[in-house]
Amino acid sequence: MDFLIVVEDLEVKYAPEIPPVLHGVLLSIESREKIGFLRRTRSGESTITMSILRLVDPTKGKIMIDGIDITKAGLHDLRCRIMFTPQDATLFSGTLRENIDPFNEHDNSECGTSSTVSRCLPKRSPTRNILRSCLRVNLLVMD
């Protein structure tokens, strides 16, 4: 079985002189698999996410994405190809389209107009239909 993301024996510290906040983490995520981290508060969910984005680097272990050790990848290449939806998602002023692709690097067909939304939400979900409609137009997001 091929995994898109593999985390092996991950240990993370926020400073060299303090104990690790994560240790011994093992995780394998298949391509197109949807996952959620559900744990009690302050148990490492955000730290795992920050580690995958290399906002913090591991002190031990490794994270592989598509067979590439992320510590060997350029930060821009890594971060522009990964998307996380936080529990308390934030939309910035502008259009929904600009929030999905802030650097305008993709055409509408790549930004989830229909196919991506269809895979991510249940077929009978009202949210799915609303979001699909919103992505077809430049829906304005305001404070």
Domain harbouring 58, CATH code: 3.40.50.300
pLDDT at 62: 94
CA distance 108 to 115: 11
* Shared-domain flag, residues 60 and 104: no
Domain presence at residue 85:
no
Tell me how many domains the chain contains. 2
* Shared-domain flag, residues 12 and 67: yes
pLDDT at 134: 56
In the DSSP assignment, the letter for residue 127 is H
Distance between alpha carbon 105 and the CA centroid of its chain, in Å?
18
* Shared-domain flag, residues 20 and 60: yes
* Shared-domain flag, residues 12 and 69: yes
Q: Sign of the C-alpha dihedral, residues 96, 102, 106, 111?
A: negative
Domain span including residue 101: 94-141
pLDDT at 115: 46
What are the DSSP E strand ranges found in 31-136?
Answer: 60-65, 68-69, 94-95
pLDDT at 125: 56
* pLDDT averaged per 10 residues in sequence order, the chain, 143 residues: 84 92 89 70 77 90 92 86 69 75 76 50 55 55 55
CA distance 41 to 18: 20
Domain presence at residue 86:
no
* Shared-domain flag, residues 104 and 66: no
Domain presence at residue 88:
no
* Shared-domain flag, residues 15 and 73: yes
pTM of the model: 0.59
pLDDT at 20: 92
* Shared-domain flag, residues 55 and 112: no
CA distance 63 to 57: 10
CA distance 44 to 24: 12
Domain presence at residue 19:
yes
Domain presence at residue 87:
no
